[in-house]
Structure 1
Amino acid sequence: MGKQKKEQANPSQDQQEQVKPSLDQLKSELKRENSKKEYKKVLRNTLIVVVVVAALAVLVSSFFIAVLKVTGDSMTPTLETGDLVVAYTRTSFEPGELIAFYYNNKVLVKRVVGSPGDWINLDADGNVSVNGEILDEPYVEKSFEPTDLTFPYQVPENRYFVLGDHRSASIDSRSSVVGCVTKEQLIGKVVFRVYPFNKFGGL
């Protein structure tokens, strides 16, 4: 009886070997722990990158670029209703460039025709001349109306004379309702169309 208790109190060598983990088990466990640590590290770094990129995206979109949705027919055929375009902040523009600006809590997109000090003339057929030179505008549907200005017209200081590409459907700087665009109204230069995808590209 005493011998039996002693044997129970002292497990055999075979039983001890069963309790001890093998070298392969130790390696597997170590590998699993290292994998957990690596996963946590990658996850943490990924989260940091996502947060930083999101913050930069908000910063850039707030101060440098804007994504705008086109509505109306004033810029056809260049831009159509539903197009998504990207504008980036600028304070000076060249004739022919597309710009976005605020007007009565709306965003309008038009084409720059005249810079501060330029003389603009518009004939009965809708041909536009700047400082005596007629513009070559194959992309526009020409029209004299709608306008209530007397031409030739000089663009005031710190303003831009803008026109839509679909002239008969555009209310723009030809009308005193909109007038010339001030620097305070400007959003930026429209440079890229991101939608629809079949028209994706620069403008």
Structure 2
Amino acid sequence: MSDVKVTKPSIDELRKELKRENSKKEYKKVLRNTLIVVIVVAALAVLISSFFVTVLKVTGDSMTPTLETGQIVIAKNSTSFEPGDLLAFYYNNKVLVKRVIGSPGDWINIDEAGNVTVNGVVLEEEYVTEKSLEPTDIEFPYQVPENRWFVLGDHRSVSIDSRSNVVGCVTKEQLIGKVVFRVFPLNTFGGL
């Protein structure tokens, strides 16, 4: 039988081993804490986006120049709108953004030149690039039904909106919320 020789580790070797073990423990602790923070932030982001805000990407020309294709905007969940607010809503599995013109019970009229009146008062619409009555297939004056909003695009000659029975007035069931903030591109960052 051969003799097994056992040597005691030196102090330096013990220190190195202790440092290595402590480093492993510290690494595991940092990794665990990082994962917890990531999970909490992700959960908060999901909750916020589910209950408070929705992020939307703009496509199409119906809201130019206010909103351009490719811009990213935030809609705050809401069921209360003032004339002039930008409203995001679902339509045929798409999301549309239009400007609120009339609320439930309001009388809307659009003349041949495209001037809009609400309850007999002509709207000052500095955001409209091109006034237009068309495309329309409803008769004016028009009363907005209960629990609905009359909406128009800012680029009236190309917008399909509440002037057409295709889209009609927006119902509560269709609502996403009020578009309140532009986040991308950065040169357009800010409130609407």
- Taking structure 2 as the reference length, what is the TM-score of the superposition? 0.88
- The Cα shift of 1:120 comes to 1.2
Unmatched 5+ residue regions in structure 1? 1-8
Question: Hey, what does 1:181 align to over in structure 2?
Answer: 170
Deviation at 1:112, TM superposition (A): 0.5
Corresponding position of 2:185: 196
- 2:138 aligned residue: 149
Q: Give unpaired runs (5+ residues) of structure 2.
A: none
Q: Within 1, Cα distance between the matches of 2:36 and 2:64?
A: 43
Identify the residue that residue 6 of structure 1 maps to in structure 2. none
Further displaced range: 131-140 or 28-37: 28-37
Query: For the residues of structure 1 that align with 2:169 and 2:52, how far apart are their CA atoms?
Result: 23
- The answer to whether structure 1 residue 76 and structure 2 residue 55 are counterparts is no
Indicate the structure with greater helix content: 1
Correspondence for 2:116: 128
Partner of 1:91: 79
Q: Which residue of 2 aligns with 1:5?
A: none
In structure 1, the residue matched to 2:88 is 100
% identical aligned pairs: 78
- Between stretches 33-42 and 174-183, larger displacement belongs to 33-42
The alpha-carbon deviation at position 25 of structure 1 amounts to: 5.5
Q: Secondary structure at the match of 2:140?
A: coil
The one-letter code of the counterpart of 2:48 is V
Q: Residue 128 of structure 2 aligns with which residue? A: 140
Q: Which has the larger radius of gyration?
A: 1
TM-score (norm 1): 0.83
